[in-house]
């Protein structure tokens, strides 16, 4: 996989086109359990591609002419995650797209991308948080697609929530979700929490009129 990305080094336009094509298919892909390991999309190769492909865009600066096109990819992902699972005529919930989007964003965060810290990038993070808060993604996709790479989704999710908090992003109560308001980039701060054993922090995620507590620790992706 890294060989492919090395060949694309310096060819950001081609990589952008490949990512657009991949996510366009991912938005409507509803894999069957028999697909596991049998297709590029639903295999270790697929999840590895999504994560590693975030490396190249992470080198782009806002002054680059290719910066905005990659930001537009994130905008499409946020829109699809929100629209597809809320529209009963759109078909099954886009659980595959959820895991693919989460993996790509995790890669952008891991590689220190400026793209993911834009307002659009932060909105995608919020959309991912909201999706997991409302929907129970298919366990077979988690196990056969995401966990097939040797990762554990639960571990990465807690670190992702922690990273979102560093960017000032929290899942709001449902009554406040329309419209979702993100704090300005210049004023986003990490909220101070009481001391907890082993350096854990407490993240409060609201579910209607009650809340649940998820623990998260300092991001350590690998």
pLDDT tens digit sequence for 73-95? 999 999 999 887 666 566 678 99
Q: What would the two tokens of residue 19 be?
A: 């990512």
Q: What would the two tokens of residue 63 be?
A: 């002054």
Over residues 37-72, the pLDDT tens digits come to: 778 788 888 888 899 889 888 888 999 988 999 999
Residues sharing a CB contact under 8 Å with residue 108, sequence separation 6 or more, in sequence order: 54, 57, 58, 115, 116, 121
From start to end of the chain, where are the E strands?
201-207, 210-216
Beta bridge partners of 205: 212
Distance of CA 178 to the CA centre of its chain: 21
Record the pTM: 0.73
């Amino acid at each position: 996989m890294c060989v492919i990305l090395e060949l694309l080094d310096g060819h950001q336009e081609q990589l952008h086109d490949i990512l657009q094509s991949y996510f366009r298919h991912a938005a409507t892909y509803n894999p069957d359990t028999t697909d596991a390991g049998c297709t590029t999309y639903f295999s270790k190769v697929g999840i590895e591609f999504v994560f590693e492909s975030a490396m190249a865009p992470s080198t782009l600066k806002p002054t680059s002419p290719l910066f905005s096109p990659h930001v537009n990819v994130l905008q499409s992902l946020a829109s699809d995650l929100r629209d597809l699972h809320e529209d009963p005529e759109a078909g099954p919930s886009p659980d595959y797209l959820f895991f693919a989007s989460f993996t790509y964003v995790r890669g952008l965060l891991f590689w220190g991308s400026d793209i993911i810290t834009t307002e659009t990038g932060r909105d995608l993070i919020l959309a991912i948080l909201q999706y997991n808060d409302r929907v129970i993604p298919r366990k077979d996709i988690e196990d056969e697609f995401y966990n097939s790479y040797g990762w554990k989704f639960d571990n990465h999710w807690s670190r992702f929530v922690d990273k979102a908090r560093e960017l000032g992003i929290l899942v709001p109560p449902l009554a406040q979700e329309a419209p979702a308001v993100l704090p300005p980039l210049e004023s986003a701060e990490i909220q101070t929490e009481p001391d907890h054993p082993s350096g854990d922090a407490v993240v409060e995620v609201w579910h209607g009129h009650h809340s649940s507590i998820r623990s998260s620790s300092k991001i350590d992706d690998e």
